């Protein structure tokens, strides 16, 4: 198979990449001198990209340390963040400093399932009922068909959503330390084919968009997808005033009027200041699927004035991450995971708690900056390209 340059999409050796890049340079009439410079073996990316011509670089910094008292993440962490947005890391670091001075953040994972939802075509309502009755009697067999495709995953729950001549089955999988989307897809196809064979329902698509993958959806906000994580901190009034230059009451009012009422007026799913900012930077640094940043946008940020102290929490219902598979094995991303002790097996839930702690810090700092009227000043000083002013 060839692409628009006429060059076959073959191989991932450096010679193949160089040849393909030269063809793109000729086709576009540009020089790709810097895209040609990268520090890993081309073969290492064979399962991550097609038509490889090089690599792009994103500046990488760190925020922290932040103290986390979680079920899986315990201790002080420097968190790697890849971003091109000036002021972001400084803001997150400020939030982490305040949270740590207040004793740290508590984190907890409440749910951990990756979902895939095939859609089946049925003949009519009577057929729908027949399929559902069969599924009630044979659910263990369907799960066995799915589980036979993987040694790491497990189909745990099947939710039923009939409508018209459609039947949606939302499968929830345990996926170990992988984010698990490919695992869930392969297993769902096997389960779906078994249901087809036994019931006559036709699987139109292995994904019927009720999963819901890489799109903002109320079902993910309510039921969760990947890891549902909550992080909290209590910031003493003195720290709020000395470090954040505001008060608990002012932050609470900002959160209510901005995140809760403003988000409702806009019809948002989620209610937060900029949770996707922290999620994106951390996902890019550590080799996660960047499209899963949409899960971060579903974050609910809550603030309360507790006798002058500031209680702040975030609930992130869809932290879709892994510490094995995907881009986590690429050399620089693997090193970034090593910074937080989350490289390899047995670390995915720890990583999920670190994601929530990082979002909490970013939310705290930005809400405080807005409550104090300092947001524009911070971006003026740290985030603007002087050449563009």
The question of whether 379 is a catalytic residue gets the answer: yes
42 contacts 13 by C-beta, under 8 angstroms = yes
> 4 and 16 in contact (C-beta within 8 Å)?
no
In eight-state DSSP terms, residue 259 is I
Torsion of CA 367, 373, 377, 382, to 10 degrees: -10
138 assigned to active site: no
Q: Is the dihedral of CA 121, 126, 127, 129 positive or negative?
A: positive
Instruction: Report phi then psi at 277, rounded to 5.
Output: -60, -50
Active-site residue, selected from the candidate residues 19, 85, 159, 304:
85
CA geometry: angle 177, 174, 296, nearest 5 deg: 70
Distances (CA, A) of 213 to 87, 89, 113: 30, 28, 13
Closest CA to 287 of 241, 321, 253, 251: 321
Phi and psi at 79, nearest 5°, equal -110, 120
> From the candidates 74, 141, 268, 289, which is the catalytic residue?
289
Among residues 14, 152, 245, 379, which one is catalytic? 379
Catalytic site includes residue 85: yes
Number of neighbouring beta carbons within 10 Å of residue 13: 13
CA geometry: angle at 186 spanning 337 and 222, to 5°?
70
**Residues recognised as catalytic:** 85, 289, 379
């Amino acid at each position: 198979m060839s692409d628009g340059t006429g060059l076959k999409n073959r191989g991932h050796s450096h010679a193949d990449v160089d040849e393909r890049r030269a063809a793109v340079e000729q086709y576009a009439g540009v020089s790709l001198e810097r895209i040609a410079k990268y520090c890993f073996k081309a073969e290492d990316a064979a399962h991550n990209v097609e038509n490889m011509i090089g690599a792009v670089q994103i500046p990488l910094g760190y925020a922290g340390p932040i103290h986390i008292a979680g079920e899986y993440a315990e201790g002080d962490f420097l968190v790697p963040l890849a971003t091109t947005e000036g002021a972001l890391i400084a803001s997150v670091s400020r939030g982490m400093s305040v949270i740590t001075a207040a004793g740290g953040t508590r984190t907890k994972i409440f749910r951990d399932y990756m979902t895939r939802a095939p859609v089946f075509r049925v003949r009519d309502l009577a057929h729908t009922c027949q399929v559902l009755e069969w599924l009630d009697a044979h659910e263990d067999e369907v799960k066995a068909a799915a589980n036979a495709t993987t040694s790491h995953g497990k189909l745990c729950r099947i939710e039923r959503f009939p409508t018209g001549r459609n039947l949606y089955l939302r499968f929830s999988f345990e996926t170990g330390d992988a984010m698990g989307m490919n695992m869930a897809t392969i297993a769902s196809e096997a389960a779906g084919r078994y249901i087809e064979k036994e019931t006559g329902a036709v699987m139109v698509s292995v994904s019927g968009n009720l999963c819901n993958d890489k799109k903002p959806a109320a079902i993910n906000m309510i039921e969760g997808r990947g890891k549902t994580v909550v992080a909290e901190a209590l910031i003493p009034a003195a720290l709020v005033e000395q470090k954040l230059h505001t008060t608990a009451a002012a932050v609470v009012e900002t959160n209510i009027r901005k995140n809760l009422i403003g988000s409702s007026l806009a019809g948002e799913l989620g209610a937060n200041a900029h949770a996707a900012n922290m999620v994106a930077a951390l996902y890019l640094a550590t080799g996660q699927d960047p499209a899963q940043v949409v899960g971060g946008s579903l974050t609910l940020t809550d603030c309360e004035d507790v006798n002058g102290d500031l209680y702040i929490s975030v609930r992130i219902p869809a932290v879709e991450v892994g510490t094995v598979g995907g881009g986590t094995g690429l050399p620089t991303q693997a090193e970034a995971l090593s910074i937080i002790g989350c490289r390899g097996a047995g670390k995915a839930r720890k990583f999920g708690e670190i994601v929530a702690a990082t979002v909490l810090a970013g939310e705290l700092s930005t809400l405080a900056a807005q409550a104090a009227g300092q947001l524009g000043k911070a971006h003026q000083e740290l985030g603007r390209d002087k050449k563009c002013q």
